[in-house]
Structure 1
Amino acid sequence: MEKGTIYDLDELENLYNDLNDHLETNINYPGWIKGVYPTRETALKGIEESNLFVFRIDNTIAGSIILNHHPEEAYKQVEWGVDAKAENIIVIHTLVVHPSFMNKGIATKLINFATKYSKEQKMKAIRLDVSVNNMAAIKLYEKLGYKYIGTVDLGLPYAHLKWFKLYEMILNND
């Protein structure tokens, strides 16, 4: 796992587009929309903020994740398991796996990396939101020990992306 660089931008954009094409022709669990999210700008911002990480297999980006301190506004609507300021939590965003590498444990590796990274940064918790329709991701998060906190409306302008489940993993940094 390594931080993404500007040299990864074209490959990340292609990964996002390939993934969205795959989702359109299969079951689009996350509800993502090609050209809306995720996009080249999503990757560029993650690279510029130095919080986008890539996982490579044979010099090809198999998956990527953005880890930052930017919770959605709707996160304030629930009572989290641990009281923490944004700078003391990591929020998982844009967890992606290229269709060619699906069902090979890449998403698990990305989530496990997020845990290790967050502990190294002495964070109190990891938080995330996931569309209520994204059953595959929900199952993975729960299997990896994330606790369901509540369901909120993130205020997105798409009917199919109204409700999101919030999850948290409290970290013990002893």
Structure 2
Amino acid sequence: MIRKATEKDIQAVSHIYDEIHTEEEAGRVTIGWIRDIYPTEKTAEMALQMGDLYVLEEDGVVVAAGRLNQQQEPSYAEADWEYDAEEQEVMVLHTLVVSPTIENRGYGRAFVSFYEDFARKHGCNYLRMDTNQKNTRARQFYKKLGYREVGIVPCTFNGIIGVQLVCLEKKL
């Protein structure tokens, strides 16, 4: 079940962030995130305050989360988007996370499917998102789901300096 997050979900979402940081620090994954910089508990709290944090819950446990809104990252202005969409026609997925303790069960795919349905329901036919160039696993995942890489933009991303931000796009 995917639903809008509540205050009680913040700890669970933050725990997933910490699990991913631990996996990266151990060298088991390469995401490009840095503990205590991004994402943090404050990242989840801010998303909750903005009203755009969603969680995927399985048997009462939050196993995935992400933000859905129409706010394009400032760096997106540098990308060579295939579609010249108006801002109100674009939905963006931010900070999609799945607990590494239960990955490969289709939760990421389910969340992206929810995102696409959410966009349709809000009149947005153009989907955008980003990932770090280092995150080859996410890049392959999004490609399988029909997202096209439109460019790589060098930037400082959420406090992380020197990010090569891969911008992805899909038209519904």
Q: TM-score, normalised by structure 1?
A: 0.90
Give yes or no for contact 2:130–2:166 (8 Å, CA) kept in 1: yes
What CA distance in whole angstroms lies between the structure 2 residues aligned with 1:102 and 1:168? 24
Partner residue, 2:95: 94
Q: Which moved more, 1:31-40 or 1:76-85?
A: 76-85
Task: State the 1:106 CA deviation.
Answer: 1.2
What CA distance in whole angstroms lies between the structure 2 residues aligned with 1:26 and 1:58? 30
What pairs up with 1:1-174 in 2 under 5 angstroms? 1-156=2-157, 158=160, 161-171=162-172
Give yes or no for contact 2:38–2:160 (8 Å, CA) kept in 1: no
Code of the residue aligned with 1:141 in structure 2: it is Y
Code of the residue aligned with 1:127 in structure 2: it is R
Task: State the 1:158 CA deviation.
Answer: 4.5
More strand by share: 2
Q: Secondary structure of 2:19's partner?
A: helix
What CA distance in whole angstroms lies between the structure 2 residues aligned with 1:87 and 1:50? 17
Task: State the 1:4 CA deviation.
Answer: 0.4
Code of the residue aligned with 1:15 in structure 2: it is I
Task: State the 1:26 CA deviation.
Answer: 3.0
The percentage of counterpart residues that share the same residue type is 27
Give yes or no for contact 1:81–1:170 (8 Å, CA) kept in 2: no
What CA distance in whole angstroms lies between the structure 1 residues aligned with 2:22 and 2:138? 18
Q: Give the number of equivalent residue pairs.
A: 170
Give yes or no for contact 1:54–1:61 (8 Å, CA) kept in 2: yes
Give yes or no for contact 2:63–2:102 (8 Å, CA) kept in 1: yes
Q: Which moved more, 1:132-141 or 1:71-80?
A: 71-80
- Give unpaired runs (5+ residues) of structure 1: none
Q: Secondary structure of 2:92's partner?
A: strand
What CA distance in whole angstroms lies between the structure 2 residues aligned with 1:120 and 1:74? 26
Q: Secondary structure of 2:88's partner?
A: helix
